[in-house]
Amino acid sequence: MKKSEPDRTRTQVARAILEGGPATAATLAQALAITPAGIRRHLDALVAEGILIARDPYQTPAERGRGRPSKVFAMTDMGREQFEHSYDDLAVSALKFMAKQGDKRLVQEFATARAQDIAQRAEKKIGSKKSLTEKSKALAQFLTTEGFAANSHTQGLGEELCQNHCPIAHVAAQFPELCEAETAAFSELLGTHVQRLATIAHGEGVCTTFIPTKNFANLATSGKGK
């Protein structure tokens, strides 16, 4: 059955959040050229269907107390299931089988092997790029082709790598080893310590990894001599 215009627009709104992460109604209206009243109707419908959830945005301590912030809309687990999943069902079943046998060592080995495979293929995309900013953006592009809807932007003294979609979020929620091994692989691939700040598997709207830049490293080094 052919989708109606409202259905197509709602799909467009949902995909914008899937690929760009949690957003306010005002941000979405501007990005998609939809009137404020129109975006509200679509968002209300998507929330009612269980595709999106409205919640308070994250605020730093300095931002708190400046008035009530606008709600942000984030993708739910049910919403993600409406979009493509690229995981291997057989591998997921095998992982659950390993855990049932009480052998966490095998689960860890599986998680490490999966992460190393991602890193090896990502290395070809990163190629000879030298700066961490270039490497982070190249990694984001690679992850997007893998179904993670990723992007990278400068944040404070480093780069913030955001994965707005996780094809195995429901499995990673049960097996955090997958996220931990992925973070370790990113660190090895980029040649610097990275810090995972949030994960979809733990209920956040996006997987966020902080990548300190060379300037940050230099600042830390210079501070030691004082």
Residue 43 CB neighbour total at 10 angstroms:
25
Residue 197 pLDDT > 80: yes
Q: What percent of the chain has pLDDT over 70?
A: 81
- Are 135 and 159 contacting, i.e. CB atoms less than 8 angstroms apart? no
CA distance 60 to 72: 15
List the one residue out of 163, 150, 167 whose CA is nearest residue 198. Answer: 163
C-alpha distances in angstroms, 71 versus 39, 55, 120, 175, 203?
Answer: 13, 5, 39, 30, 17
pLDDT tens digits along 16-72: 887 777 889 999 999 999 999 999 999 999 999 999 988 876 544 454 555 566 788
Place of tokens 């009612």: 48
| Mean pLDDT of the chain, nearest integer | 81
For residue 182, give every residue at least 6 positions away whose Cβ sits within 8 Å of its Cβ, in sequence order, or none. Answer: 111, 114, 115, 118
> Residue-wise over 169-205: b if at least 16 C-beta within 10 A, else e?
bbbbbebebbbbbbbbbbbebbebebebbbbbbeeeb
Per mean pLDDT, which of 15-19, 123-127, 168-172, 211-215 is the most reliable? 123-127
**Which one is predicted more confidently, 206 or 69?**
206
Neighbours of 98 (CB within 10 A): 18
pLDDT tens digits along 88-141 = 466 677 777 887 777 778 888 889 998 999 999 999 888 878 889 999 999 999
Residues in the chain: 226
Alpha-carbon gap, residue 158 to 147, rounded angstroms: 24
Euclidean distance between the first and final Cα of the chain, in Å?
69
Helix (H) or strand (E) holding 141: helix 132-145
Domains annotated on the chain, with CATH:
5-81 (1.10.10.10), 89-221 (3.30.1380)
Structure tokens at 217: 């490293």
The three-class DSSP label of residue 208 is strand
pLDDT for the residue 206: 84
